[in-house]
């Protein structure tokens, strides 16, 4: 999903493992509800979650299964580039989100959901869920690792790599889905990125 990819740093306050577990769990539940709203509408997003949603819609496999599998190749890159702690937390985050999005619909049923309201709720909830995972040094997607590797090797900024990846994902979606699906999905992506852009300041948590 579209989001800045955090590079692990030293924090002024080192979270205990209990703080990390509860913080990540609450953040993932928040993001999971958001993605459930999006998936119930049959809409898309960017980054690895967007790839997983497209494959899920076209193949019939659940989002959780596809999202979990799609992320596996990125863990080796993450371990080398970002370290063991970040990678293990990311595995936890991806696994939790996969389970939540697959099983939350068992307790949530939408007889009617306005698409604008649904994408707005997705963007807000998932955006704040991602902010929580960043603060506890986790992540929900693998494309950010590739973006960092490209930046390391070529000097081409990781943020631009991610924008190009999102452009390719939504560009592909134009050929696979109805126009209104893509436009509503873009609205949700803008809301999500806006939430993160206005609320995420990595330097607040960096040691002096």
pLDDT digits (tens, 9 = 90+) for 156-173: 887 788 889 899 999 999
Q: CA-to-CA distance for 133 and 8, rounded, in angstroms?
A: 12
Q: What is residue 43's DSSP assignment?
A: -
CB–CB of 145/87 below 8 Å?
no
DSSP 76-139: HHHHHHH-HHHHHHHHHHHHHHHHHHHHGGGT---S---HHHHHHHHHHHHHHHHHHHHHTT--
- C-alpha dihedral, 134 to 138 to 143 to 144, nearest 10°: 50
| SS3 state of residue 13 | coil
Give pLDDT, residue 203.
54
Give pLDDT, residue 191.
94
Name residues of the chain where pLDDT drops below 70: 1-13, 200-208
CB neighbour burial string for 145-180, b if at least 16 within 10 angstroms, e if fewer:
bbbbbbeeeeeeebeebbeebbeebbeebeeebeee
Give pLDDT, residue 208.
30
Give pLDDT, residue 151.
78
Q: What is residue 42's DSSP assignment?
A: T
Q: What size, in residues, is the chain?
A: 208
Give pLDDT, residue 76.
84
CA–CA distance from 125 to each of 67, 73, 80 (Å)?
A: 19, 27, 31
pTM for the predicted model, two decimal places: 0.85
Residue 43, CA atoms < 13 Å, CB-side half-sphere: 31
CB–CB of 46/112 below 8 Å?
no
């Amino acid at each position: 999903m579209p989001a800045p990819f955090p590079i692990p740093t030293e924090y002024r306050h080192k979270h205990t493992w209990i703080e990390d577990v509860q913080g990540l769990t609450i953040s993932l539940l928040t993001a999971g509800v958001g993605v459930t709203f999006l998936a119930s509408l049959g809409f898309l997003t960017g980054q690895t979650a967007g790839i997983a949603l497209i494959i899920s819609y076209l193949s019939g496999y659940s989002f959780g299964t596809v999202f979990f599998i799609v992320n596996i190749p990125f863990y080796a890159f993450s371990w080398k580039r970002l370290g063991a702690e970040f990678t293990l937390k990311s595995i936890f985050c991806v696994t939790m989100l996969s389970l939540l999005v697959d099983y939350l619909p068992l307790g949530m049923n939408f007889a009617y959901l306005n698409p604008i309201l649904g994408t707005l709720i997705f963007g807000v909830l998932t955006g704040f869920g991602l902010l929580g995972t960043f603060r506890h040094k986790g992540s929900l997607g693998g494309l950010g690792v590739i973006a960092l590797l490209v930046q390391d090797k070529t000097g081409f900024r990781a943020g631009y790599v991610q924008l190009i990846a999102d452009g390719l994902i939504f560009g592909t979606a134009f050929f696979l889905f109805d126009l209104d699906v893509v436009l509503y999905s873009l609205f949700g992506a803008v809301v999500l990125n806006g939430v993160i852009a206005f609320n995420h300041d990595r330097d607040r948590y960096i040691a002096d």
